[in-house]
Amino acid sequence: MDLQLAGKKAIVSGGSRGIGKAIARLLAQEGCDVAIGARTEGPLREAATEIAEETGRRIVPLPLDTMNPESVKSFVKQAAEALGGIHILANCAARVGGTIPDNFEVTTDEQVLQDFEEKAVGYLRCAREAAPYMKEAGWGRIINLSGGAGRSPGAGISTGMRNIASAALTKSLANTLGPFGINVVALYPGSTVTEATTERNRETAARQGKTLEVFMEEMKQRVPIRHNVTAEEVANVAVFLCSPLAIGITGEAIAVNGGGSADMHY
C-alpha cells in the first residue's frame, strides 16, 4: 500500500529508541525526511545515522528536553529550518511507566508534577510549536503516544493521570486543528517490546527466579493473540495514521495492545 507520505517532513520526540525510533524509521522508509529529538546525544546521533543509512532519507538529530519550553521551541524551529517545513509530529518523549511508585501514600507532589509535565505538557509544547508549520502547509498529522493506563489505570498514581491527560489533549487538539487539515490521534500501546521494557522485564524475571524467555512466554499467554506486540508493530499503526489515507480518523485514542485489556469501547 502506498501511504502517500513521500516528501513529507516529520519530527519525532523521543526518537532515539523504542517506539519513537521505530516510528521515525518507518516514516523514513515511506519517503519522509525526519528530525528526531531526545535528551541523550550519543544514542540520538547513533539512531539518526542508523536510520539514514538504512533508508537513504535525511535524518536530523536535535537535542530535546520536553520539560524545558525553550528546548522545545529550539527543537521545532531547527527541525523546520533543516527539513523545510513540518507536516507530521509524533510525540513519543516520555519515560516508560513514568517515575511514580505504586503506593500513593508515599507519592510526592513533585513526582506527580514532573511525570505530568514530561508527558502531557511536553506533548502540548511540541504540538503548539509545530502546528503553525502544519497550518502553513494546509495539512498535518499529530500522533500522541499515550498508554494503556489511560483506560485501565493501575495502582500507580500518575501513570493513568498522564495518559488520560494525553488523550484529552488529543481530542482538544483535534477539534481545534481539524479545520486546518490537521488530524490528531492518540495511541494506547500495551506492554510493548522495546529496549527499555526488555531490560525491565529481565530484572523482573530475575527477581522471580525466571529466565527472560520464560517471563516473555508467560506474558504472551496473557494476550488474546498470544503475541507480544513490538515497537515496530505500534509504529505500523502510527505511520498509517500519519497517512492521507487515514483522513477519517481524528480525535480518537486507539489501543495497540494485542487485545490485552479487558476494556470494551463502542
**Residue 202: strand, helix, or coil:** helix
> What is the structure's pLDDT at 158?
65
Strands 33-38 and 59-63: parallel
Contact between 59 and 21 under an 8 Å Cβ cutoff? The reply is no
> What is the structure's pLDDT at 163?
87
Element (H, E) at 71: helix 69-83
Q: Which of 124, 137, 52 is nearest to 86 (CA)?
A: 137
> What is the structure's pLDDT at 216?
84
Distances from the Cα of 17 to the Cαs of 1, 48, 133, 138, 143, in angstroms? 26, 10, 26, 30, 17
This prediction's pTM? 0.91
> What is the structure's pLDDT at 154?
64
Burial class (CB in 10 A: 0-12, 13-18, 19+), 207: exposed
| Rounded-to-10 torsion of CA 133, 139, 145, 147 | 140
Element (H, E) at 91: strand 88-91
CA distance 45 to 9: 19
What is the residue whose three cell numbers read 519530527?
Answer: 11
> What is the structure's pLDDT at 110?
85
What is the residue whose three cell numbers read 499467554?
Answer: 221
**Residue 107: strand, helix, or coil:** coil
CA distance 51 to 28: 8
CA distance 1 to 235: 15
pLDDT of the chain, 266 residues: tens digit per residue: 899 999 999 999 999 999 999 999 999 999 999 999 999 999 999 999 999 999 999 999 999 999 999 999 999 999 999 999 999 999 999 877 655 656 677 778 888 888 889 889 999 999 999 999 999 999 999 999 987 666 666 656 667 788 889 999 999 999 999 999 999 999 988 778 777 777 888 888 888 898 988 888 888 888 888 888 888 999 999 999 999 999 999 999 998 888 777 676 66
